[in-house]
Amino acid sequence: MKRIFITGGAGFIGSAFVRLVLDEHADVEIVDYDALTYAGNMANLAGVDAERHRFVKGDICDREAVMNALPEGTDAIFNFAAESHVDRSINSADEFLRTNIIGTQVLLDAAREKGVRRFVQISTDEVMGSLPDDSDEYFTESSPLQPNSPYAASKAAAEFVVRAARETHGVDTVVTRCGNNYGPRQFPEKLIPLMIANAMNDEPLPVYGDGRNVRDWIYVDDHCRAIWLAYEKGRSGEAYNIGARNEQENINVVKAILDAVGKPHELIKLVTDRKGHDRRYAIDPAKAETELGWKPQVTWEEGLAATIDWYRANQDWVNHIRNGEYRNYYDAMYGARLEKAV
């Protein structure tokens, strides 16, 4: 049995990765370490094989707890744990710097002390900043790191501590930088699940600015397959950009959701823009395709339909979140914006 240690495995992408690995790799057992912040949810792990998956509740910044949870003989750490929402980072950056930077350093130290063979850092395209509209520029692995939000800055800093651990201490590291993920179990603060949930409840759909910002969307399982390949085949010290060549303007994403849910476009409200709102993300995934032999398997149309079906079929999961602390977050983030909306 191969042993791997996943952080953030009760979140959106981490839990999809846990499922994928357990389904596709019978010789792997997982320790899943997660602090269960507002974004972590044990319901995301319902039904996973308990024989090969052990959950440990803990904070990646807690050195002693990480050392206690990390088994001897672990082959790899996959660091998904993070504060992940740009809007929250604009309101308060502290937790982003703590978890995303300090937490990554603690995990790198633990990897070194316990002799873990490889460290996989789950990063984001947002570390590379923003591209101009209507250009043929793309993010490549040699694009400069020029983050614009506190979230992106904390993820870029995390990449630097990963690099330093390799250069200074010889830790074997690989970094993946993916675009915007979508799929089942994404916390409904993010664009696609927020719009699906609001549409299903006949509530207004708050689109920032002119709605023409572009994101490069990828189905979560395609991202997870790329992470696995980066672990197996990635060259030490390298970063791999992961994207499905699927640029979409926000307004078109929101209209597609309304059409699929059968609700009128009149629910769309253009609201005050996000501060420092990155205009366009677009990834050139050629390196991952050629070096890792990776290709996305799920088209945008299939993935969006599957995602909407999942939220329709799992309204208890959504309502449990929407009826809790999320309501306060939503009112603070959108209340005044929607009052002024056009």
Q: List the catalytic residues.
A: 125-126, 151
Is residue 150 involved in binding ligand NAD (CB under 6 A)?
A: no
CA–CA separation, 75 vs 122, rounded Å?
17
Among 53, 88, 155, 166, binds ligand NAD (CB under 6 A): 155
Among residues 203 and 222, whose Cβ is nearest to ligand NAD? 222
And the tokens for 156? 């870029």
> Quick one: which of 8, 9, 103, 206 contacts ligand TYD (CB under 6 A)?
206
Quick check: 13 binds ligand NAD (CB under 6 A)?
yes
Cα 17 to Cα 79, 256, 295: the distances in Å are 11, 27, 17
185 near ligand TYD, judged by CB under 6 A:
no
36 or 261: whose CB is closer to ligand NAD? 36
Beta bridge partners of 277: none
- Binds 14, which of ligand TYD, ligand NAD, none (CB < 5 to 8 A, cut-off by type)? ligand NAD
177 part of the interface to ligand TYD, by CB under 6 A: no
d(CA 122, CA 311): 25
User: Does 8 participate in binding ligand NAD (rule CB under 6 A)?
Assistant: yes
82 binds, among ligand NAD, ligand TYD, none (CB under 5 to 8 A by kind): ligand NAD
Whichever of 37 and 272 has its CB closer to ligand NAD, that residue is: 37
Q: Where are the alpha helices (DSSP H) in the chain?
A: 12-24, 63-69, 86-91, 94-97, 103-114, 150-169, 191-200, 220-233, 250-261, 286-287, 300-313, 315-322, 326-339
CB 244 within 8 A of CB 219: yes
Among 45, 61, 257, 258, indicate the residue that binds ligand NAD (CB under 6 A): 61
Q: What is the amino acid identity at position 324?
A: G
Q: 5-44 mask for ligand TYD (x: CB under 6 A)?
A: ----------------------------------------
Pick what 40 binds: ligand TYD, ligand NAD, none; C-beta below 5 to 8 Å, kind-dependent. Answer: ligand NAD
How far apart, in whole angstroms, are the C-alpha atoms of residue 92 and residue 107?
24
Of 178-237, which residues contact ligand NAD (CB under 6 A)? 178, 180-181, 187
- Chain center to CA of 222: 12
Cα 323–325–328 angle (5° rounding)? Answer: 95
Enumerate binding residues for ligand TYD (CB under 6 A): 86, 180, 190-191, 194, 206-208, 213, 215, 250, 274
